[in-house]
Structure 1
Amino acid sequence: MAAVAQNSVVTLTYDLSVTDDNQEKVLVEQAESEEPMVFLFGHSGLPEEFERQLDGKNTGDAFSFSLTPDQAYGDYDPQAVVQIPKQVFEIDGKIDDQMLEIGNYLPMADNEGNHMQAKVVEVGDEMVTMDFNHPLAGMVMHFDGKVMEVRPATAEELSHGHVHGEGGHHH
C-alpha cells in the first residue's frame, strides 16, 4: 500500500469549515466520494502545511487538522481591495451587467500578465471595487476527512505537473 509522499496522486474526501466571527465552525466546502479531491502531492499549489499534514498517510486513514491564515492563504489585506475603472470591463464597447454582479469572481490579469481571481465588491457609475484577496484569506480552516486512494503518479502526470484521468485533467 502506497503512503502519501512526493509525486503521489492522492484522492481525498473532506469537510472544510472555517471559524466565523463568533468563533464557531461553519462548513464552507465538501469533497465527497462522488466528487473527491484529486491532486499531485508536491505539485498541487495547495498550502505547504496542508500537504505536510497528509504526508505519510495511507489509504483509509482519517485526518483532522486546522490551518491558521499564516499556514494557508495569509491575512486579509485591505490593500488588495482596489477600484478599477468600469470601462476596463467593456467587451466590444458594452458592459455585461451579469458579469459585474456583486459576489462574482472574475479572472483578471495584472500588468505583468499574472492571472488571478477577483471578487466584485461594489459597482458604481464609473468604478468597480474588486477584492483580490483569496476567498479564504484571514480564516482559520478546519479539515476533517479521509484518504481514499494513494498511487504513484505516471511519468506523464509528473511531466505535466497535474493528475490525468478520473478526477484529474483531461487533454
Structure 2
Amino acid sequence: MNISENTVVSLTYELHTTNQEGQQVFVEKADEENALVFLYGVGMMLPKFEEHLTGLTVGDEYSFELSAVDGYGEKDPGAFADLPISMFTEQGAEAPNVGDVIPLQDNNGNQFRAGVTAVHEQTISVDLNHPMAGKNLIFAGKILSVREATPEELTHGHAHGADGHEEH
C-alpha cells in the first residue's frame, strides 16, 4: 500500500539542521522502537513533509530537505517580548536562565513555549518563534508500515498507533 490520504504511516527519521558554518547538526530521531506514527493528510504534519512521502511504501527509504519557509517559517523579528520577572518568581521560584525554554499561555488558554534570551532586573526577554524557525530541516528515514485508517481514527483525526489499537 502506498502513502496517500487517510492512511496511517509509521516511519523512522533523523532530523538535522545546519549551523552557521554549513555543517549538519543532529536535532532528533525516531527509531523502529519509537517510530513516528501519524494519520496522513489531516494536517498533523508539515505539508511539505507529507508531500515528500506521498506514494512511498513499506521499506522505502527517503531523504529530503525542507527550506525554513516550508518548515516552521522564517524567524519573525516581531516575535520577541519582555515579560515581568514577577511572572516567574511570585511563589518563590527562581527566575529562568538564558537558554531555558519556558511554558507560556496566551489569553485564549493556548499553551506554547518560548526561549529565554536575556534576564534583566525587572524583565525576562523571550523569543516566541518556534525553535526550528529560520532553519532548513533535513530528514532521512525509512517507511515501516502503511495501512488504511480505521473509521474511528478518521473521526478522531489522528492515528491510534501503528496497529490501530492504541487507546486514549
**TM-score normalised by L of structure 2:** 0.88
Partner of 1:159: 155
Asked whether 1:66 is paired with 2:65, we answer yes
Give the letter for the 2:152 counterpart: E
Contact 1:38 1:167 in 2 (8 A): no
Aligned-partner Cα distance in 2 for 1:129–1:160: 38
Call closer, same or farther: CA 1:166–1:3 in 2, change over 3 Å: closer
Give the letter for the 2:34 counterpart: E
Q: What's the secondary structure of 1:72's corresponding residue?
A: coil
**TM-score normalised by L of structure 1:** 0.87
Q: Structure 1 residue 135: deviation in Å?
A: 1.0
Partner of 2:27: 28
Partner of 2:115: 119
Count of paired positions? 167
Contact 2:38 2:44 in 1 (8 A): no
Partner of 2:44: 45
Q: Structure 1 residue 44: deviation in Å?
A: 4.5
Partner of 1:97: 94
Name which of structure 1's ranges 144-153 and 112-121 shifts more when overlaid on structure 2. 112-121
RMSD: 2.1
Aligned-partner Cα distance in 1 for 2:144–2:27: 21
Unaligned runs of 5+ in 1: none
Aligned-partner Cα distance in 1 for 2:58–2:35: 14
| Aligned-residue identity in percent | 39
Give the letter for the 1:143 counterpart: F
Encode CA deviations 1:118-162: one digit per residue, 9 max, x unaligned. 122223221111211111111111111111111111122111112
Q: What's the secondary structure of 1:157's corresponding residue?
A: helix
